[in-house]
Amino acid sequence: MDLLNTIDAMSTDMYLRLKCAAETGKWPEGTVVDPAQRATALQLSMAYQARHFDNDQMLTIGADGHVVEKNKRQLKAEFSSAKPEEEIKKCSKPSQADIAYFSNNEL
C-alpha cells in the first residue's frame, strides 16, 4: 500500500496515536517508541495533516505529498481577506465570567 492510500485509510484515532508517538517518543499507553518508529510516525502524521486539514502556513506539504510554497503576494491576499472575528484579539481585560475562583478547600 502506498503512502496516500495509507493516509486515506487511516482513522482519526490512529492519527492521534501516531502524532503522540512522534511528539513524545512514547505511545499513548507509555511504551517507548524506537527511532525508526518515531520517524515513520512523524512522516505519517504530517501526511495525514496535509491531506485532511486546511493549512495557511507559507511552507507546507500538499495533499499530493509535494512541498507547497506560497509567495508573498498569496500570503498578503489570504491575510487581507481574513474576517475581523478571525483575527487575534488584542490583550483585553478579562471579565468576571472569564476568571475561575477557588477556595482553599477545593484545591
Q: What is the pTM of this model?
A: 0.52
pLDDT band at 33 (very low <50, low <70, confident <90, very high): very high
Q: Tell me how many degrees the CA angle 97-99-102 measures, rounded to the nearest 5.
A: 115
Count of positions (residues) in the chain: 107
H or E element at residue 43: helix 35-52
Tell me which of 30 and 55 has the higher pLDDT. 30
State the pLDDT at residue 100. 65
Considering 21-30, 43-52, 66-75, 89-98, the range whose residues carry the highest mean pLDDT is 21-30
What pLDDT, in 10s, does the model give residues 57-89? 555 666 676 777 777 777 677 667 655 554 444
State the pLDDT at residue 6. 87
Residue 45 C-alpha cell reads as: 502524521
pLDDT higher than threshold 80 for residue 23 = yes
- Which contacts of 52-59 are long-range, i.e. CB under 8 A and separated by 24 or more positions? 52/7, 52/15
Taking the CA atoms of residue 82, residue 86, residue 91 and residue 94 in that order, the dihedral angle to the nearest 10 degrees is 160
Residue 5 C-alpha cell reads as: 492510500
State the pLDDT at residue 88. 47
